[in-house]
Structure 1
Amino acid sequence: MDGEGATLSPRTRRSKLTPQRVAELFGSVLQLLREVGYDSLTMEAVATRTRCSKATLYRQWTGKPQLVAQALRHEKPVTFADIDTGSLRGDFTAVVDRLSTPRMERDSALLRGLLQAAHAHPDLLAALRELLVVPELTGLAEMLGHAVERGEVASDAPALPFVPHTLVGLLIARQLAEDTPADPAFVRDYIDAVVLPALDV
């Protein structure tokens, strides 16, 4: 099987990369991805840019899709699993407070390119779902579950199952409707005007 799209099963060998080195490598991967796009990104190019041998890369990651997905995961400014303020409104506020306009603009362009690439590369789509999307959905479900346990949100609220779709949609919809990426102010207003009222919060 081609190494660029290898299976997602984790490597069993112990990595020789330190956490600091891994963080530096992930940053270089995303920078290279912004420069050349997913199709032109190769493990050899990553090895050259990061001054890391291909053998070391393949000991740590099974292929390009997993490396890219884990780099995105590592560089995320905020994850839902990190948030627990004691109220759903406070949780969403904490999420938005960690966002920044320059970062969102930069990441929006990157994610649009990756979503396009995922249509042509099922292995990339699988890696993004396994390593990026599913963990975030799990964290969001836990955050919403806490709100239900506190009595803030009814367990049978009709909008509850659609919160993930709503949050993903707001990032895509503004770009399509207004030709501008979502920024923290837009996300905050959207949550206050759409998400929380739909949950009767």
Structure 2
Amino acid sequence: MAEVATPRRSRITPEREAELYEAVLDLLREVGYDALTMDAVAARTRSSKATLYRQWGGKAELVVRAIRHGKPGKLAEIDTGSLRGDLHAMVAQEDDCTMERNSALMRGVAMAIHHNPDLRQAFREQLVEPEIQEFRRLLQRAVDRGEVRADCPALDFVLHMMVGGFATRALLDDQPPTRAFLTSYLDAVVLPALGVRVP
């Protein structure tokens, strides 16, 4: 059973918090979720384990908060006036190098999610569900503007298509996802499925 304490926020500066999150992400990339320990985080960040548990409660919470902190921009901040513009702006939030690093990171975390209930719950509550809500608002704007029919059957599968394109790039093509690949995928697959004409 994983050690978990009730998190209690203390006075850590935003700069120090960002430094801790970067160290956690670096360790995740180096050793993966299962081999990452709070001892290793404490040593890497010159923190005490007690401080880490007091601040975050446990490894799952700390890891998910680090991933959330490392995410570029928020979907809520994107509103270009068109669905195609919004989706392209979403892809443009990360450069190819960052996308490659994050893709590798998420592959490792995805494996751990399957057999770690604490991580799965924290991941769903703090990352997946908020992102789904924001993405649905983005799609609803497109429906409200008349770009997509409200009864379009593909609306329920847009996120599946998006995640699929991102996740299977390495599996099928042995290459990391890139901006060029994802924008082409949006124009060739996602937008036509929604009935959106691509110029």
Task: Report the Cα distance in structure 2 between the residues aligned to 1:122 and 1:166, rounded to whole angstroms.
Answer: 25
Unaligned stretches of 5+ residues in structure 2: none
Partner of 1:98, secondary structure, is: coil
1:2 to 2:10 alignment: no
Residue 192 of structure 1 deviates from its aligned partner by: 0.6
- Scaled by the length of structure 2, the TM-score of the pair is 0.92
1:15 to 2:10 alignment: yes
1:29 to 2:24 alignment: yes
1:86 to 2:68 alignment: no
Residue 2 of structure 1 deviates from its aligned partner by: 3.2
Report the AA paired with residue 2 of structure 1.
A
Report the AA paired with residue 161 of structure 1.
D
Task: Report the Cα distance in structure 2 between the residues aligned to 1:80 and 1:194, rounded to whole angstroms.
Answer: 21
Unaligned stretches of 5+ residues in structure 1: none
Partner of 1:180, secondary structure, is: coil
Partner of 1:37, secondary structure, is: helix
Task: Report the Cα distance in structure 2 between the residues aligned to 1:48 and 1:121, rounded to whole angstroms.
Answer: 24
CA RMSD of aligned residues (A): 1.6
Identity in percent: 57
1:39 to 2:62 alignment: no
Runs of 4+ in 1 over 2 A off after TM superposition: none
Task: Report the Cα distance in structure 1 between the residues aligned to 2:83 and 2:141, rounded to whole angstroms.
Answer: 8
Aligned residues: 196
| CA displacement 1:126-157 (0-9 Å, x = unmatched) | 22111111111111111111111122111111
Q: Alignment partner for residue 61 of structure 1, among 53, 56, 64?
A: 56
Q: Is the 8 A contact 1:81 1:136 kept in 2?
A: no
Report the AA paired with residue 191 of structure 1.
L
Task: Report the Cα distance in structure 2 between the residues aligned to 1:15 and 1:156, rounded to whole angstroms.
Answer: 48
1:31-180 pair list within 5 angstroms: 31-180=26-175
The corresponding residue for 1:190 is 185
